[in-house]
A and B are shown apart, each in its own frame.
Chain A
């Protein structure tokens, strides 16, 4: 039953860079219309996990399926069709710096079919409003934005095509608490209203609690815990407990030499 209801299924995904293995057999299922949040320490391979699903990196071993068909090593034609259903926010936004903000936001739409400039600008302004930016921003270039603004433009770009699948790599880092909450609401509404499936990465437990149907924790290249958002604050797992409470002491070694 679960098989037919899963949008994204990862089985035994391994990825190493040279001798350094980052993912060590990740198993993960994301249901249709579900919002899954992946948490885990810095440098545990969360961004690498996303890139493997998107086909930007190829896993060394294991299978990744979206809608029941494998997405590893796809030919460009099939990949293009698949990627049209996907929106992605990169950790550092990755805005095209040779284009203005509105061109960035409507790039994916224009790539599918040409849209007249004034129409594109209107769409961009609507999407900017959704992430709490005003219309003046549309004509700026990415270099003229602050870090948090860039992140929000990246978010606007990710949701511009109303995609079926959304990937957010740390959507709220670098934002003030109020704006974080606006973004959380936005993600929730994308999932609830548009019926999208979302995979988000975050360090922000308040945000995780708000947007997640389910939370998974990545540690040492494996998913060591999954559970609902409520369970995470009273889980019996030592790793999860240390992470959620943000303590330096515990089973997760921080590799910091304390004086």
Chain B
């Protein structure tokens, strides 16, 4: 009987955790749409997530674009298909690399910071104090962060798209000797709105996931400094894995139909 009850108990614990998580998600979303809102905190989070992540995301994008151009050149020159470089760069960047890499970088930067901040507030009873002062912590702490993440990340990714393509352009023109006008023309020629849009939809989903994971692990953390450390790690790891998984699912939804 002992092994059975052990298994039973862990299954129950697991189910309870899943249930708690979904209640958390539902409450976060509900509080995003029901007033009162905290516009000041929202703006501060937009700056934190969007504006202050620009350097990191910009650097990631430019190097990615550059290395893409270089790699496709060495590959494609074997088939005399160098002309496709512009196409490869713009499609890979807008559809996949900008959203996923920006998502992962922001998960490290923002997810960790959110989990640490909210986790510290939890273990030092600041969240209890908020409640006692009749301020709903879901509205005050979580909703502005989740909303800001969902909105800021697509903006970041749009900028990353442009910088990534620019990186490819720099390498192709100044190192590989392509004609600038021709390269830009090719970039533009093959680009469909859906390529950019799918990337932005992904970014929005990633932004939601990053903030949600940061807030969830912070909010539910317990056990002092060590618990906060654990929450931070869990926030980054779970957000990163979910980003990669959701990336596949969204790609499937957008492009499964097209051959």
A interface residues with partner B (beta carbon < 8 Å): 51, 54-56, 76, 79-81, 83-84, 86, 88, 90, 92, 94-98, 107-108, 111-112
Report the minimal beta-carbon distance from B181 to chain A, rounded to whole angstroms: 52
Contact A96 B125 (CB under 8 A): no
Contact B133 A83 (CB under 8 A): yes
Contact B134 A56 (CB under 8 A): no
Contact B134 A112 (CB under 8 A): yes
Task: Give 5 closest A-B pairs by Cβ, nearest first.
Answer: A108-B133, A94-B125, A83-B134, A94-B129, A80-B134
Q: Known: A84-B134, A111-B134. Contact between A97 and B126, CB under 8 A?
A: yes
10 A-B pairs with C-beta separation under 8 A: A51-B128, A81-B134, A83-B133, A88-B129, A96-B121, A96-B129, A97-B124, A97-B126, A107-B135, A112-B134
The answer to whether the Cβ of B92 comes within 8 Å of any Cβ in the partner chain is no
From B120, B121, B133, B136, name the one whose CB has the most chain A CB atoms within 10 angstroms.
B133
> In whole angstroms, what is the CA distance A86 to B124 when docked?
20
Report the minimal beta-carbon distance from B114 to chain A, rounded to whole angstroms: 13
Report the minimal beta-carbon distance from B132 to chain A, rounded to whole angstroms: 5
> In whole angstroms, what is the CA distance A135 to B130 when docked?
24
Contact A111 B135 (CB under 8 A): yes
Of the candidates A55, A76, A90, which one forms a contact with B129 in the assembled complex, judged by CB atoms under 8 Å apart? A90
> In whole angstroms, what is the CA distance A81 to B136 when docked?
12
> In whole angstroms, what is the CA distance A97 to B121 when docked?
9
User: Which B108-152 residues have a C-beta within 8 angstroms of A?
Assistant: 117, 120-121, 124-126, 128-136
Q: By the criterion of a CB under 8 Å from any partner CB, how many residues of chain B are at the interface?
A: 15
Instruction: Kindly list chain B residues whose C-beta atoms are within 8 Å of the C-beta of A80.
Output: 134, 136
> In whole angstroms, what is the CA distance A179 to B194 when docked?
69
Report the minimal beta-carbon distance from A22 to chain B, rounded to whole angstroms: 16
Instruction: Kindly list chain A residues whose C-beta atoms are within 8 Å of the C-beta of B125.
Output: 90, 92, 94
Report the minimal beta-carbon distance from B209 to chain A, rounded to whole angstroms: 24
Instruction: Kindly list chain B residues whose C-beta atoms are within 8 Å of the C-beta of A79.
Output: 134
User: Which B17-33 residues have a C-beta within 8 angstroms of A?
Assistant: none
Contact A88 B132 (CB under 8 A): yes
Instruction: Kindly list chain A residues whose C-beta atoms are within 8 Å of the C-beta of B126.
Output: 94-97
Q: Known: A92-B124, A94-B125, A97-B126. Contact between A54 and B132, CB under 8 A?
A: yes
> In whole angstroms, what is the CA distance A112 to B133 when docked?
9
Report the minimal beta-carbon distance from B34 to chain A, rounded to whole angstroms: 10
Report the minimal beta-carbon distance from A114 to chain B, rounded to whole angstroms: 11
Report the minimal beta-carbon distance from B43 to chain A, rounded to whole angstroms: 15
Instruction: Kindly list chain B residues whose C-beta atoms are within 8 Å of the C-beta of A111.
Output: 133-135
From A79, A81, A108, name the one whose CB has the most chain B CB atoms within 10 angstroms.
A108
> In whole angstroms, what is the CA distance A86 to B136 when docked?
15
Q: Given A80-B134, A83-B134, list of 10 further CB < 8 A pairs?
A: A51-B128, A55-B131, A56-B128, A76-B136, A79-B134, A86-B132, A90-B125, A94-B125, A97-B126, A111-B134
Query: Nearest CB to that of B138 among chain A residues?
Result: A76
Instruction: Kindly list chain A residues whose C-beta atoms are within 8 Å of the C-beta of B133.
Output: 83, 107-108, 111
Contact B134 A108 (CB under 8 A): yes
> In whole angstroms, what is the CA distance A126 to B121 when docked?
27
Instruction: Kindly list chain A residues whose C-beta atoms are within 8 Å of the C-beta of B128.
Output: 51, 54, 56, 90, 94
Instruction: Kindly list chain B residues whose C-beta atoms are within 8 Å of the C-beta of A107.
Output: 133, 135
> In whole angstroms, what is the CA distance A51 to B131 when docked?
11
> In whole angstroms, what is the CA distance A84 to B135 when docked?
10
Query: Nearest CB to that of A84 among chain B residues?
Result: B134
Instruction: Kindly list chain B residues whose C-beta atoms are within 8 Å of the C-beta of A95.
Output: 126, 129
Instruction: Kindly list chain B residues whose C-beta atoms are within 8 Å of the C-beta of A81.
Output: 134
